[in-house]
Chains A and B, each alone.
Chain A
Amino acid sequence: MSENAIISVKHLSKTFGSNQVLKDVDFEVHEGDVTCIIGASGSGKSTLLRCINLLEKPSGGEIQFHGQQIGGHGFDPCAYRAKVGMCFQSFNLFNNMSVLANCIAGPMKVQKKSREEAEKLAMNYLEKVGMAPYINAKPRQLSGGQKQRVAIARALAMQPEVLLFDEPTSALDPQMVGEVLSVMRTLAKEGLTMIVVTHEMAFARDVSTHVVYMADGVICEEGTPEEIFEHPKEERTREFLERFTNR
């Protein structure tokens, strides 16, 4: 166990009713890591991510943030979530707010920043994701890719230490996947710590620093992209990747 892990997950398990989705999951995220979690649907990737952000309550094990256990008694989940951003598959932009209002809501309401400061911050990130010309648009006026880019800007405006992505491109048509991935690639290059649940194998291979392959609620294999994609040790990893590359 290294000292500088931002998030470390220990023996995490999660059950929905009698269905055990996560079984004894251990992994760590360090500063600057881009961790991609890959695996078949239903393997528990998204649940793992949602547990990390406490959108789901873990059934067992623990999650530490800078060595401090999260979710314990007297723990403030809101303050924690403000430091750990999340982007969703279905974007979840606030439909009643404009693009800019979406991005300043968090900094103003949660971090109590002034409007000027929040707007400056938001504009900075909206420019980064190429959405600055759209600040007055409502989410329903944007395409899926644009919505996801705004969602990324909204998460970034909170200046999180870690940004979680839950299948950010799965709801997009192929043409829009590229624009979102290119934004994420830029963020990765700038050293943002990210945990990405994805089916985009090319992104996982080229951008991530660490790849986790999950199957049936356990981490089957993990390592550098090279280890996983070029020399997978486990038979199941090999089978999974073959199915993807043979398409």
Chain B
Amino acid sequence: MTTLPEGFIPKILFILETYSQSFMQGIGYTMLIALVSTFIGCVIGLAVGIVQTIPTDKTENAAKHYILMVIKFILNAYVEIFRGTPMMIQAAFIYYGLPYVFGINLGMLPAAFLIVSINTGAYMAETVRGGILSIDPGQTEGAMAIGMNHFQTMTSVILPQALRNIMPQIGNNLIINIKDTCVLTIIGVTELTYATRSATGAYYTFFEAYTIAMVFYFILTFICSRILRVIEKKMDGPENFALAMDDAIVLGEGTYKYHGNPIETNHDVREFKRGEALKKQAGNGGER
């Protein structure tokens, strides 16, 4: 074992060099778990959120109404339980509980995906519900008025708009997930925090190692938030749109044409022009 150099910066460089491989592996696992779980979580959240916003009418179809009520109750319980307990406890509960109760031995990584996904799903369900509720009811009426059913209305009109509105929240969840994978150290996933802890162990360089971890986490989240911003901009499309001006019906019947230059309705401009005209008149009068 080589000896630890003196000073803050040399120590950091030393740790980076010695543990570069485990740090890289840690970053890899952190990002893998965060990205995959955010994606799966969004899919879960979307499904749950959509089901929770299905309108039920007892008088129209009683059986459907009661089945939906039961489903909604179960989904609500899911959301409340997973939002209401710490992810670290859930991780331990599921990872150690599954083999004990059901005899299912999940690998470390699948367990990590499962835990983070269902957690994200619970949060996203509420976000999606909010996103759907935020869309003007007129959009639904417009879709209904051309004969679309609930499913068609959702997939082609409401969800594309709701999805755009909840993009910032999806980004939020991704960033939270990047950071919160650190609680998975409890089940031994070798993500970034796990790698940091192993780096501290040999030389008791807590401050230096955690400084490195902090910088890495920040770089990861910052890059992701910037990329998400770009994606949002893409979704919005071009800000400017060159309108075609040959609209034959505008200023058609029932309207009157405005002949003046609109800028001349501005008081100052009018006053200025009147002054100019008076000067001109006076000048002309003098010549005459």
> Which residues on A are within 8 Å of B, measured CB to CB?
53, 55, 78-83, 85-86, 88, 90-97, 105-106, 109-111, 129-131, 133-134, 137-138, 141, 143, 145-146, 149, 151, 154-155, 158, 174-179, 181-183
A138→B148 CA distance, assembly (Å): 21
Most A Cβ at <10 Å: residue of B146, B148, B246: B146
Q: How far is the CB of A15 from chain B (nearest CB, A)?
A: 15
B residues less than 8 Å from A95 (CB atoms): 139, 161
Chain B residues positioned under 8 Å from A149 (CB to CB) = 249
Does the CB pair B241–A141 fall under 8 Å? yes
Taking a contact as CB atoms under 8 Å apart, the answer to whether A55 and B141 are in contact is yes
A134 and B146 form a contact (CB under 8 A): no
Q: How far apart are the CA atoms of A183 and B250 in the complex, in Å? A: 11
Q: Which of B239-255 contact A (CB under 8 A)?
A: 241, 243-244, 246-255
Chain B residues with Cβ below 8 Å from A146 are 247, 250
Instruction: Give the contacting residue for A81; candidates B146, B157, B254; CB below 8 A.
Output: B146
A179: which of B149, B244, B249 is its contact (CB, 8 Å)?
Answer: B249
With A96-B164, A105-B156, A141-B241 already in contact, the answer to whether A78 and B147 are too (CB < 8 A) is yes
Contacts of B246 in A (CB 8 A): 133
Q: Inside 8 A of B152's CB, which chain A residues have their CB?
A: 109-110
Chain A residues within 8 Å of B237, by CB: 138
Please measure, in the bound complex, the distance between the C-alpha atom of A94 and the C-alpha atom of B146, giving whole angstroms. Answer: 12
Residues of B within 8 Å of A182, CB to CB, are 249, 252-254
What distance in Å separates the Cβ of B164 from its nearest Cβ neighbour in chain A? Answer: 7
Which residues in A have their C-beta under 8 angstroms from that of B136?
92
B145, A105: Cβ atoms closer than 8 Å: no
Q: How far apart sit A83 and B157, CA to CA, in the bound complex (Å)?
A: 20
Shortest Cβ distance from A98 into B: residue: B237
A81 touches B145 (CB 8 A): yes
* Contact A158 B164, CB 8 Å, known A179-B254, A179-B255: no
Q: How far is the CB of B88 from chain A (nearest CB, A)?
A: 39
Is there contact, CB below 8 Å, between A158 and B146?
yes
B147–A106 CB distance below 8 A: yes
Q: Tell me the residues in window 214-245 of chain B with beta carbons closer than 8 Å to chain A beta carbons.
A: 237, 241, 243-244
Q: Does B138 contact A (CB under 8 A)?
A: yes
Residues of B within 8 A of A90 (CB): 138
| Interface bin, chain B | 20 to 34
CB distance from A107 to the nearest CB of B (A): 9
Contact residue among A53, A94, A181 (Cβ-Cβ distance under 8 Å from B143): A94
Contacts of A81 in B (CB 8 A): 144-147
B99 within 8 A of A: no
Contact status A137-B243, CB under 8 Å: yes
Q: B160 interface residue, CB < 8 Å from A?
A: yes
Which residues of B are found within 8 Å of A109, using beta-carbon distances?
Answer: 148, 152, 156
For A106, the chain B residues whose CB sits under 8 A away are 146-148
Contact (Cβ within 8 A) A55 B247: no
- List 10 A–B pairs whose Cβ atoms lie within 8 Å, in order of A's numbering: A79-B147, A92-B145, A94-B156, A106-B148, A109-B152, A134-B243, A137-B243, A141-B241, A177-B254, A182-B252
Residues of A within 8 A of B249 (CB): 129-130, 149, 179, 182-183
**A165: min CB distance to chain B, Å:** 11
Taking the closest CB of chain A, its distance from the CB of B155, in whole angstroms, is 9
A residues near B148, Cβ cutoff 8 Å: 78, 105-106, 109-110
Are A94 and B243 interface neighbours, CB within 8 A?
no
| Contacts A154-B146, A179-B255 known; 14 new A-B pairs at CB < 8 A | A81-B147, A90-B138, A91-B142, A92-B136, A92-B139, A129-B249, A130-B247, A137-B241, A155-B146, A174-B255, A175-B255, A179-B250, A182-B249, A182-B254
Contact across chains for A181 and B254 when beta carbons are under 8 A apart: yes
Residue in chain B with minimal CB distance to A186: B249
- Which one of B145, B156, B160, B244 has the greatest number of beta carbons of chain A within 10 Å? B145
Please state if B146 and A105 are interface contacts (CB–CB under 8 Å): yes
Instruction: Report B250 CB to chain A, min CB distance, Å.
Output: 6
- Given A92-B139, A94-B139, A155-B145: A145 in contact with B156 (beta carbons within 8 A): no
Task: State the 3 A-B residue pairs at the shortest beta-carbon distance, nearest first.
Answer: A178-B254, A82-B147, A92-B142
On chain A, the residues within 8 Å of B141 by CB distance are: 55, 88, 92
